[in-house]
């Protein structure tokens, strides 16, 4: 039986997909897809509901930590908000001010469309349509806090219900990070600013980064929350003792993957191996052939194709390539690239992952480490978003594993280990304390730098200094395949571009960081 926490997490992920189908597609295309959506999620409404898997104490801890964590991230601009919020506020503005689907007029003779992973914004934007932009920002902050709280509840549901267990598990999640400070010290070419409190430490490797849990929430909650909640579902399913719950949850995972794709396609890419592993395990070990029935996968496939077609419109302008061997110098250059990536992997994931495996056996954790070792080889996006975003599910698996290993509910540890359980926990705790330097810097920046106000006028194009960012804006009619999909879309409505000068273009977060002498990556 699916419990209330599962239902809330799936509903949180699915609601933006429902809004997208109603607001972006022509009625003749939306109605059959909505019927498939309803068929896929119908068991959530008609099956018997299990008991809530968390105590009142755990709910109180998760709610307090989730809300405080979100408030420190600057979502509502009560404290300093990081530089990504400059464009993110503009996206929310356009979704509230413009008629859906939002367009920006002609570019190079072709009509344009806001083509971006918009799932995170849609519930707040829908509220803003009737209550105004400030209400939309308040709703976005509440939506973020709700997502963070639900994820913490998923972790605490697997932890001891004592106050110590709940606080320890939540603290490990909030302060979980790779060993960025070690990488920074080992690779610093000039020490200017990098040791200063409130610095952003995670670009020490240059070409890629794996973000701490706090960095993910403070900079990219639009990518992070969907990955966290989906991994929370998968990890709880993996540890479930009740077969009825596991059997009821597995058929929902394909639609969950589609919902995550609308919020963050690269996060969905990193999530897919875990979903495939979980479904494959049900089919292989449990001989559950019902998961192969078209009723399970056909609705998710249909919606997935529509979402993928939308997100890949005019995607050829997005930079991509390889991070190894591109600098020339033959085998020497290739070897140097691979050694740099090996250093990056062990500092960001490998050391902590091995320490967790010494306490808990976990096939999911092994899979996560393999993914994290391979991701830096390729690059996609202007800032190598592939490594940053596709790593989110695997890093979440690692964070949950570390949390459960220290919270006092160990799994089955490897036999014959040279160290006692207490010594292994102490080693993991030391590694986590070193990693905690990164989230402490992120929290310090929110506390030490002044808040900057929401720009209520800037559109996406204005905030981007008159440019049409390739990862946010698509030109229509770029290929025959795209033209076929565009028949399903409502006609985009051109939003007036508004002010394109410094008032819209200047990023206050960057200016404030530079004024404090903090290095900007």
Tens digit of each residue's pLDDT (9 = 90 or more) over 451-497: 999 999 999 999 999 999 888 999 988 777 778 888 999 999 999 98
The two counts, helices (H) then strands (E), for the chain are 25, 7
In this prediction, residue 240 carries a pLDDT of 47
In terms of DSSP bridges, do strands 473-475 and 110-114 run parallel, antiparallel, or are they unpaired?
antiparallel
CA atoms within 13 A on the CB side of 289: 0
How far, in Å, CA of 17 to CA of 295, rounded?
19
**Peptide bond between residue 101 and the one before it cis (omega within 30 degrees of 0):** yes
How far, in Å, CA of 311 to CA of 308, rounded?
5
With left for phi above 0 and alpha for psi between -120 and 50, is residue 330 left, alpha or beta?
A: left
CA quadruple 142, 144, 150, 156: dihedral positive or negative? negative
Q: What residue spans of 98-242 are helical by DSSP H?
A: 122-131, 133-156, 163-174, 180-187, 213-219, 221-239
In this prediction, residue 189 carries a pLDDT of 59
**pLDDT exceeds cutoff 60 at 307:** yes
Nearest by Cα to 144 from 8, 12, 233: 12
How far, in Å, CA of 380 to CA of 207, rounded?
11
In this prediction, residue 272 carries a pLDDT of 94
Percent of the chain past pLDDT 90, that is, above it, reads 60
| Furthest-apart CA atoms within the chain: distance in Å | 68
How far, in Å, CA of 518 to CA of 446, rounded?
13
* This prediction's pTM: 0.93
With bands split at pLDDT 50, 70 and 90, how would you rate the model's confidence at 191? very low
| Average pLDDT of the chain to the nearest whole number | 88
With bands split at pLDDT 50, 70 and 90, how would you rate the model's confidence at 377? confident
């Amino acid at each position: 039986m699916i419990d209330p926490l599962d239902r809330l997490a799936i509903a949180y992920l699915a609601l933006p997909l429902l809004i997208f189908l109603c607001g972006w597609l022509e009625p003749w295309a939306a109605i059959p897809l909505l019927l498939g959506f309803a068929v896929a999620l119908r068991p959530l409404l008609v099956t018997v509901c299990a008991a809530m898997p968390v105590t009142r104490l755990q709910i109180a801890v998760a709610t307090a930590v989730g809300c405080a964590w979100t408030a420190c991230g600057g979502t509502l601009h009560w404290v300093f908000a990081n530089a990504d919020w400059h464009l993110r506020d503009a996206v929310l503005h356009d979704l509230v001010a413009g008629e859906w689907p939002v367009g920006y007029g002609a570019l190079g003779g072709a009509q344009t469309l806001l083509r971006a992973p918009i799932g995170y914004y849609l519930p707040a934007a829908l509220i803003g349509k009737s209550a105004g932009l400030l209400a939309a920002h308040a709703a976005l902050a509440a939506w973020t806090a709700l997502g963070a709280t639900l994820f913490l509840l998923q972790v605490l549901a697997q932890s001891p219900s004592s106050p110590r267990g709940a606080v320890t598990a939540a603290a490990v999640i909030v302060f979980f990070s790779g060993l960025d400070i070690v990488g920074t010290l080992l690779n610093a070419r000039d020490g200017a600013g990098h040791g200063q409190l409130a610095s952003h430490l995670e670009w020490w490797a240059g070409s890629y980064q794996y973000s701490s849990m706090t960095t993910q929430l403070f900079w990219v909650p639009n990518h992070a929350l969907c990955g966290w909640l989906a991994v929370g579902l998968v990890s709880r399913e993996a540890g479930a003792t009740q077969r009825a719950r596991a059997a009821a949850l597995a058929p929902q995972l394909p639609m969950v993957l589609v919902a995550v794709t609308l919020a963050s396609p690269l996060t969905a890419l990193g999530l897919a191996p875990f979903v495939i592993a979980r479904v494959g395990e049900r089919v292989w070990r449990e001989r559950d052939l019902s998961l192969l029935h078209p009723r399970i996968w056909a609705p998710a496939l249909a919606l997935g194709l529509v979402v993928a077609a939308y997100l890949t419109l005019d995607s050829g302008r997005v930079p991509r390539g390889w991070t190894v061997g591109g600098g020339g110098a033959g085998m020497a250059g290739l070897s140097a690239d691979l050694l740099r990536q090996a250093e990056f992997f062990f500092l960001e994931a490998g050391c902590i992952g091995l320490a967790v495996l010494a306490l808990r056996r976990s096939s999911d954790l092994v899979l996560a480490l393999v993914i994290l070792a391979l991701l830096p080889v390729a690059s996609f996006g202007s800032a190598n978003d592939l490594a940053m975003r596709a790593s989110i599910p695997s890093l979440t698996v690692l964070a949950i594993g570390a949390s459960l290993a220290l919270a006092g509910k160990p799994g089955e540890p490897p036999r014959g280990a040279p160290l006692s359980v207490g010594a292994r926990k102490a080693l993991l705790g030391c590694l986590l304390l070193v990693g905690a330097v990164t989230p402490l810097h992120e929290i310090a920046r929110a506390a030490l730098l002044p808040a900057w106000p929401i720009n209520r006028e800037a559109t996406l194009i204005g905030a981007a200094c008159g440019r049409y960012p390739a990862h946010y804006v698509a030109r229509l009619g770029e290929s025959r395949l795209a033209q076929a999909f565009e028949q399903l879309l409502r006609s985009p409505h051109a939003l007036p571009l508004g002010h394109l000068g410094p008032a819209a273009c200047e990023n206050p977060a960057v200016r404030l960081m530079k004024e404090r002498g903090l290095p900007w990556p």
